[in-house]
Amino acid sequence: MDIEIIASLITAALSMLSLGIFKELSEKFIRCEFGKTVLEETYSQKLTRLTDSLIKSSSEVDEVLRELSQVASDREESIRKL
């Protein structure tokens, strides 16, 4: 009888592993027991997020450079008028 229970538990564990349930449960256990955060986004998602952030930052830098260029042109014009 004990061997049947052990075999059932092993079968259940393998089934859970194959369905991905074991992964979720182990991540929750790690978070609770060890206070560690588990990576929740894939590398593809992270790269997409970082690329979007880079594009936005680049646009903001371009805008600042345009403003600086305009200020420099305005000052140059003011100096010529003097």
Looking at residue 1, its pLDDT comes to 52
Residues 33 and 48 in one domain: no
Tell me the pLDDT tens digit for each residue of 29-78: 766 666 655 557 788 888 999 999 999 999 999 999 999 999 999 999 99
pLDDT by residue (tens digit) across 19-30?
666 666 667 776
Mean pLDDT over 3-7 rounds to 73
Taking alpha carbons only, the member of 40, 43, 41 closest to residue 30 is 40
Same domain as 47, residue 28: no
Do 48 and 80 fall into the same domain? yes
Domain count across the chain: 2
* Domain coverage including residue 11: 1-37
| Domain match, 45 and 18 both | no
Task: Report the predicted TM-score, pTM, of the whole model to 2 decimal places.
Answer: 0.46
User: 17-56 in b/e burial notation, b at 16+ Cβ within 10 A?
Assistant: eeeeeeeeeeeeeeeeeeeeeeeeeeeeeeeeeeeeeeee
End-to-end CA distance of the chain: 103
pLDDT of residue 54: 92
Q: What is the pLDDT of residue 65?
A: 92
Do 63 and 32 fall within a single domain?
Answer: no
- Note whether 49 and 22 are same-domain residues: no
Q: Tokens at residue 65, please?
A: 């450079």
